[in-house]
């Protein structure tokens, strides 16, 4: 079944470790069942997380979002994740026939926000990534420099849920609880 491009919540139903038939590239292949209400609820779609040097970390992150504990393949079914699904043209090498099929582009943390808009095509993604590359690297260096200066080596920051606890108001200060 063709799934329109977009953002969908899903739960993994299986994880198997495979390799491509051509080059023998290893992959973590996950079957997902869509969980959003609507005509595609329950539809199964597969994702191949190719275990190349450039992609292993992202595959590991995606599997961790699913709940995989790196030991038991069944743990991949623990969490609901957000899938970014887009169209992909596929040409059968034997028949030379081209078809369009649905493909999982990304497996994301559903709490990360976003999810509005249509996924970019490959060219648009490459342009966006190139435009951001230098800025992101410079920002990472700035963040690391600031953390080193502050004596922090973790990714936390002191705002919102990560803010240090406030001191309670002094007795008799006249302060009233906010809630």
Measured CA distances, 93 to 96, 97, 98 (Å): 5, 8, 9
pLDDT classification of 159: cutoffs 50, 70, 90: very low
Average pLDDT, the chain: 82
Res 151 pLDDT > 80: no
Contacts of 33 (CB under 8 A, 6+ apart): 10, 11, 13, 42, 43, 44
- Looking at residue 67, its pLDDT comes to 94
Alpha-carbon gap, residue 17 to 27, rounded angstroms: 6
The pTM assigned to this predicted structure is 0.62
Kindly report, residue by residue over 35-60, the tens digit of the pLDDT.
999 999 999 999 999 999 999 999 99
Ordered DSSP codes for 56-124: HHHHHHHHHHHT--SS-GGGGGSSEEEEEEEEEEEE-TTT--EEEEEEEEEEE-GGG----SPPP-HHH
- Looking at residue 120, its pLDDT comes to 66
SS3 of residue 26 by DSSP: strand
- Residues 88, 91, 93, 94, CA torsion sign: positive
Res 107 pLDDT > 80: yes
Res 99 pLDDT > 60: yes
Kindly report, residue by residue over 123-148, the tens digit of the pLDDT.
877 787 787 777 777 777 887 888 78
Kindly report, residue by residue over 57-77, the tens digit of the pLDDT.
999 999 999 999 999 999 999
Q: Are 73 and 33 in contact (CB under 8 A)?
A: no
């Amino acid at each position: 079944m063709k799934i329109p491009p977009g953002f969908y919540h899903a739960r993994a139903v299986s994880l198997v470790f495979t390799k491509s038939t051509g080059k023998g590239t290893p992959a973590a292949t996950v079957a997902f069942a869509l969980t959003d209400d609507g005509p595609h609820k329950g539809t199964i779609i597969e994702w191949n997380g190719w275990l190349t040097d450039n992609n292993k970390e992202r595959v590991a992150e995606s599997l961790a979002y699913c709940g995989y504990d790196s030991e038991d393949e069944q743990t991949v079914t623990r969490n609901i994740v957000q899938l970014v699904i887009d169209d992909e043209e596929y040409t059968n090498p034997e028949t030379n026939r081209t078809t369009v099929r649905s493909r999982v582009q990304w497996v994301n943390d559903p709490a990360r926000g976003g999810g509005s808009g249509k996924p970019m095509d490959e060219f648009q993604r490459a342009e966006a990534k190139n435009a951001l590359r230098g800025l992101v690297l410079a920002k990472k260096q700035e963040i690391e420099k600031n953390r080193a200066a502050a004596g922090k080596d973790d990714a936390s920051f002191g705002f919102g849920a990560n803010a240090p606890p406030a001191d309670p108001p002094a007795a008799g200060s006249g302060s009233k609880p906010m809630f």
